[in-house]
């Protein structure tokens, strides 16, 4: 279990596919990275879990909630992940 | 000294002695009435005369009419002047006592031949002066004057004659009477001078000095002649005629002091001779008496008859003491007196120039002395004998008492001992009780031994009593005998009891030992039996024939030990019987309870019987078990035989299917057909499985869980069968899916073959699935330059279940998706018309309703945002 944090400089797209959520009974994970994208450049890995989005705990978020949180970030996006 | 012819001048002496006496009395009466002066003189003179005698008795009189009233001094006077004892005076103070005493005096006077006329005791007691004086004169006359005898003249005349004779040489003295002749005092002096010229110088005397002469004579008489003054010089001078009686009285004293006439001398000598003779007679008499007394007493002292009791002996001793204290002393005195008398007599005889006194035969001093010596010796001997005897009797008494005491003590001790020793208490005693009894008996034995001494002492005392000739020795002997007999009896009984106790102890001890032996052997035997019982009833669970065989073998081994056990059992029974036998034959009541063991004979025998029954039972069970095991074995074999066929058959089918799926050549449809055929075969094979199941059930019902005849368990077969079924179904499905996919994705047969070959190539294990490494290699070969992250993503996509393998279907999906994926990625919207065209109508409407319009600029009208929709649908969104 290795938790790490990243801050991506905006604007979107951030270059990753988010899968899962509380409503899907699956943890929020990165299922795909856009090659050369901001997420890939920041060192995010496919299969990493999203622990928090903008310092908010992502454990109990639904997919839509998580999606909205990420979409709300404009200038920068802070994430904590775990691999 | 001038010798004179002594002429006898008689003074009025015409009558006889007695008549003269009577006459004198008449004169006296007359005189008394006439002259008080004479009374006075007489009083004085008589008082002095009485006192001259009474002083010898240590008493005096003051008043002549008073002091003789009670008669005591009167009697005393008479005793002194007569030298005789009067009867004892009455000691009373009453008048009649006094009269009685005076009468005793008067009677005495009368006994001396004096006739007392008109003198009565009452008058004297009443203090009649004239009577008293008269009585005194009578006494003086009788005792001082009457016995005077001079030249055959007696009494008054004799006295007168004596005075004349003695004063004859003196010219100026002429004594004619007893009154006026004496007035000048020269007569007194002449009398004194005649006898004691050393006392006065007569030549110096003068007739004209009567007072001086009288006083001189009286003084000298008092001082040197021991004649107290009885006359008063002045009274004599002044009285014309002095009292005749007074003068006579006083002169009689001179006579008695001086008289030594021949007659008197002869009288004296005669008197002395008479006295001597009397003394001699007295001596003889006393000597005889004494000797007689000695003669009487000596046998008594020599008597040695012993008395029986101490009391009697002590009385004898008392008598002896009395003898010593009371009877002998007077005799001693008598002897002494005898000696004194003898000596006095001899002295007197010697003085009188008489020959010595020779006592008669046998009465010599030496005889008396030797007799007395004999007496002393006899006394001593007697005393010694008495004391010895008393000691002897004392000893005997003491011994007898000692004997009695000891005998009594012993008899008391012995009470009940016989009964105690005769007890049969040991017959019902236990071992510890017997031991206690033995201890107690030991104690008794030592007590007995201690008493042995005492019994011997008693016997010794009895012996001594016999030797010392005790008076009641018969009783003593009887008692002693009884004690000794009982003693012997006790000894015998003691011995018998000891033997009985010891014997009983031995028996009980033996029994105890047997009990112990019994306990020692029964304990392990009992344990063995219990163990055996447990083993024999042991529930066994066996699964193999070998196990049963080993149990049977063990059982046989056990059965082999039975004879030995039987032997032990018999030994134990033997011990038990031994105890019974001893108990019965010796009449010893052994306790039926074994103190060492809680296990009874009955228990043992009972268990033994049980064992005896269990052994064949076990044989049976084991045999049964054996049969069962055999039948199980049969089942096993049966099962195994079948399983060994079915297992490989299934395996073969699996391989077949595998091969089929891996085959490259031929169309999917052909594969399908093959598979379907296979499936059919499989289905028709089912009955075999069912039969196996049935056999397996039997085996299971028999609780057989192992089968070494086959490695295939039912589970294996079952699983294998299931797997076979599922594999065939899956494989069919796969083919079907492949067919579908091929058809859906428009993959050509050739493409499919390519995919297939790639897959097969990289499926190193050839099991229809690619490992991750295989897959990686495959991707690389296809030109994918993968980083780890990308590969992981891909893996995630391909193996969403994270099973670690990639199936051919997934592989195909991935391959087809990759090519098709990019198509939709750049277009975030979809047109309504596309939805209606692509999807079934209801699905299309569903999507159209739910998809939000795509709001971004540049979008054609009616564009729907499907990303958020798909996001909502799939949980996937690109950000």
| CATH assignment at residue A47 | 2.30.42.10
Considering only CB atoms, B875 lies closest to which of A21, A47, A70, namely A21
The predicted pLDDT at position B783 comes to: 66
Strands B149-150 and B153-154: antiparallel
Cis amide bond preceding A13, omega within 30: yes
Taking the C-alpha atoms of residue B381 and residue B296, their distance in angstroms, rounded to an integer, is: 16
Pair of tokens at residue B526: 């009992």
DSSP state of B55: G
pLDDT of residue B22: 43
Look up the ipTM and state it.
0.87
- Residue A57, helix vs strand vs coil: strand
Report the pLDDT value the prediction gives residue B499, as an integer from 0 to 100: 92
Whether the CB of A8 is below 8 Å from some CB of chain B: the reply is no
Asked if B300 contacts B319 with a C-beta cutoff of 8 angstroms, the reply is: no
On the 0-12 / 13-18 / 19+ scale of CB atoms within 10 A, A62 is middle
Q: What is the largest CA-CA distance in chain A?
A: 31
pLDDT of residue B665: 60
Closest CA to B525 of B603, B630, B596: B603
CB–CB contact B878 A32 (8 Å): yes
A6: contact with B, CB 8 A cutoff: no
**Mean pLDDT of the A18-42 span:** 87
| A35 Cβ under 8 Å from any chain B Cβ | yes
- Within 10 angstroms of residue B173's Cβ, the number of other Cβ atoms is 24
Domain that holds residue A65: 3-82
Using an 8 Å CB-CB cutoff, list chain A residues near B793.
30-33, 46-47
pLDDT of B784 = 66
* CA proximity to B34, closest of B130, B99, B108, B127: B130
Q: What is the pTM of this model?
A: 0.36
Structure confidence by residue, pLDDT tens digits, B636-675: 899 899 989 998 998 898 888 888 777 666 677 787 888 8
Distance CA B338, CA B287 (A): 7
**How many domains, chain A?**
1
Query: Which range is most confident: A8-12, A34-38, B214-218, B860-864?
Result: B214-218
Task: Assess A78–B contact: CB distance below 8 Å, yes or no.
Answer: no
* Cα B583 to Cα B577: distance, rounded to the nearest angstrom: 10
Q: Do the chains contact at A46 and B875, CB–CB below 8 Å?
A: no
Please report the pLDDT score of residue B492 as a whole number. Answer: 92
Distances (CA, A) of B623 to B547, B615, B703, B751: 12, 12, 18, 72
Q: Which two tokens stand for residue B264?
A: 């008197």
User: Which residues of chain B, if any, have pLDDT below 50?
Assistant: 1-24, 26, 28, 31-32, 261-262, 821-825
Question: Cα dist. B77→B39, B54, B161, B280, B679 in Å?
Answer: 21, 6, 28, 30, 201
Residues paired with A79 in a beta bridge: A6, A53
- Reported residue count of chain B is 879
Chain A residues close to B878, C-beta within 8 Å: 13, 16-18, 32
What number of C-beta contacts closer than 8 Å exist between A and B?
64
In contact, B583 and B511? CB cutoff 8 Å? yes
Q: Which single residue is written with the structure tokens 């039948």?
A: B631
**B34 alpha carbon, distance to own chain's centre:** 110
Kind of pairing, strands A76-82 and A3-9?
antiparallel
- CB of A83 within 8 Å of a chain B CB? The answer is no
Q: Does A47 touch chain B (CB under 8 A)?
A: yes
Question: B792 contacts in A (CB within 8 Å)?
Answer: 45-47
- Secondary element (H or E) of residue A3: strand A3-9
Q: Which of B793, B795, B872 sits opposite A64 (nearest CB)?
A: B872
B337's CB contacts (< 8 A; 6+ apart) are: B286
Q: What is the DSSP string of B171-185?
A: TT----SSSGGGTTS
Q: Which two tokens stand for residue B837?
A: 């065209």
């Amino acid at each position: 279990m290795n938790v790490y944090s990243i801050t991506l400089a905006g604007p979107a797209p951030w270059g990753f596919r988010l899968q899962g959520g509380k409503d899907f009974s699956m943890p929020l994970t990165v299922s795909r990275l856009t090659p050369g994208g901001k997420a890939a450049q920041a060192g995010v890995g496919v299969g990493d879990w999203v622990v928090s989005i903008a310092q908010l705990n992502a454990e109990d978020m639904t997919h839509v909630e998580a999606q909205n949180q990420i979409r709300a970030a404009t200038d920068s996006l802070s994430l904590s992940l775990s691999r | 000294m001038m010798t004179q012819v002594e002429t006898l001048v008689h003074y009025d002496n015409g009558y006889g002695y007695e008549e003269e006496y009577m006459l004198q009395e008449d004169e006296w009466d007359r005189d008394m009435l006439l002259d008080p002066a004479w009374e006075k003189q007489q009083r004085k003179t008589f008082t002095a005369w009485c006192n001259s005698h009474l002083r010898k008795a240590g008493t005096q009189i003051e008043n002549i009419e008073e002091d003789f009233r009670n008669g005591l001094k009167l009697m005393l006077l008479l005793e002194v002047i007569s030298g005789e004892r009067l009867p004892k005076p009455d000691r009373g103070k009453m008048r009649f006592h006094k009269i009685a005493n005076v009468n005793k005096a008067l009677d005495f006077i009368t006994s001396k031949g004096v006739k007392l006329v008109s003198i009565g005791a009452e008058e004297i007691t009443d203090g009649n002066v004239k009577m008293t004086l008269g009585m005194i004169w009578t006494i003086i006359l009788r005792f001082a004057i009457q016995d005077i005898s001079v030249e055959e003249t007696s009494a008054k005349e004799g006295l007168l004659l004596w005075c004349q004779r003695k004063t004859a040489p003196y010219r100026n003295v002429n004594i004619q009477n007893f009154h006026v002749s004496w007035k000048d005092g020269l007569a007194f002096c002449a009398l004194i001078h005649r006898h004691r010229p050393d006392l006065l110088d007569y030549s110096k005397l003068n007739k004209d000095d009567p007072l001086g002469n009288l006083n001189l004579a009286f003084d000298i008489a008092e001082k040197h002649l021991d004649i107290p003054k009885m006359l008063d010089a002045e009274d004599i001078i002044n009285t014309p005629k002095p009292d005749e009686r007074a003068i006579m009285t006083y002169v009689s004293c001179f006579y008695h002091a001086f008289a030594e006439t021949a007659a008197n001398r002869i009288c004296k000598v005669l008197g002395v001779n008479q006295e001597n003779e009397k003394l001699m007679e007295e001596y003889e008499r006393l000597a005889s008496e004494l000797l007689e007394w000695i003669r009487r007493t000596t046998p008594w002292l020599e008597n040695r008859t012993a008395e029986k009791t101490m009391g009697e002996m002590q009385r004898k001793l008392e008598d002896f003491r009395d003898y010593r204290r009371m009877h002998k002393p007077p005799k001693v005195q008598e002897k002494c007196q005898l000696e004194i008398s003898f000596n006095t007599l001899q002295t007197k005889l010697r003085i009188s120039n008489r020959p010595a006194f020779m006592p008669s035969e046998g009465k010599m001093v030496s005889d008396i002395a030797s007799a007395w010596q004999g007496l002393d010796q006899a006394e001593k001997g007697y005393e010694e004998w008495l004391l010895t005897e008393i000691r002897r009797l004392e000893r005997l008494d003491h011994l007898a008492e000692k004997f009695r005491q000891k005998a009594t003590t012993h008899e008391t001790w012995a009470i009940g001992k016989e009964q105690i020793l005769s007890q049969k208490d040991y017959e019902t005693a236990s071992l510890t009780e017997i031991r206690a009894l033995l201890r107690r008996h030991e104690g008794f034995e030592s007590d007995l031994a201690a008493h042995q001494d005492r019994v011997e002492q008693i016997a010794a005392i009895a012996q001594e009593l016999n030797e010392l000739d005790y008076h009641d020795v018969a009783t003593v002997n009887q008692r002693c005998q009884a004690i000794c007999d009982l003693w012997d009896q006790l000894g015998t009984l003691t011995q018998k009891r000891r033997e009985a106790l010891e014997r009983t102890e031995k028996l009980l001890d033996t029994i105890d030992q047997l009990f112990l032996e019994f306990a020692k052997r029964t304990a392990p035997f009992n344990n063995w039996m219990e163990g055996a019982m447990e083993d024999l009833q042991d529930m066994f669970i066996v699964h193999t024939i070998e196990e049963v065989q080993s149990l049977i073998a063990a059982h046989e081994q056990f059965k082999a030990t039975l004879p030995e056990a039987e032997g032990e059992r018999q030994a134990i029974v033997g011990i038990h019987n031994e105890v019974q036998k001893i108990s019965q034959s010796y009449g010893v009541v052994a306790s039926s309870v074994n103190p060492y063991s809680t296990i009874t004979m009955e228990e043992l025998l009972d268990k033994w019987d049980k064992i005896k029954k269990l052994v064949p039972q076990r044989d049976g069970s084991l045999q049964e078990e054996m049969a069962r095991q055999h039948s199980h074995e049969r089942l096993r074999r049966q099962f195994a035989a079948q399983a060994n066929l079915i297992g490989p058959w299934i395996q073969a089918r699996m391989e077949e299917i595998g091969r089929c799926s891996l085959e490259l050549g031929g169309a999917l449809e052909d594969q399908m057909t093959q598979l379907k055929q296979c499936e059919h075969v499989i289905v028709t094979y089912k009955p075999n499985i069912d039969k196996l199941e049935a056999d397996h059930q039997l085996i299971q019902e028999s609780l057989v869980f192992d089968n070494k005849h086959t490695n295939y368990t039912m589970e294996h077969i079952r699983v294998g069968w299931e797997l076979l079924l599922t594999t065939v179904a899956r494989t069919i499905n796969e083919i079907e899916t492949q067919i579908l996919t091929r058809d859906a994705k428009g993959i050509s047969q050739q493409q499919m073959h390519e995919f297939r070959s790639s897959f097969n190539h990289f499926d190193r294990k050839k099991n229809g699935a690619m490992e991750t490494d295989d897959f990686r290699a495959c991707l690389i070969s296809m030109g994918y330059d993968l980083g780890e992250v990308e590969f992981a993503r891909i893996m995630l996509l391909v193996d969403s279940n994270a099973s670690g393998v990639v199936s051919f279907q997934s592989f195909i999906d991935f391959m087809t998706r990759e090519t098709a994926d990019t198509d939709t990625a750049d277009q975030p919207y979809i047109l309504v018309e596309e939805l209606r065209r692509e999807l079934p109508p209801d699905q299309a409407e569903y999507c159209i309703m739910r998809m939000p319009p795509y709001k971004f600029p540049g979008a054609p009208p009616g564009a729907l945002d499907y990303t958020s929709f798909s996001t909502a649908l799939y949980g996937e969104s690109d950000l």
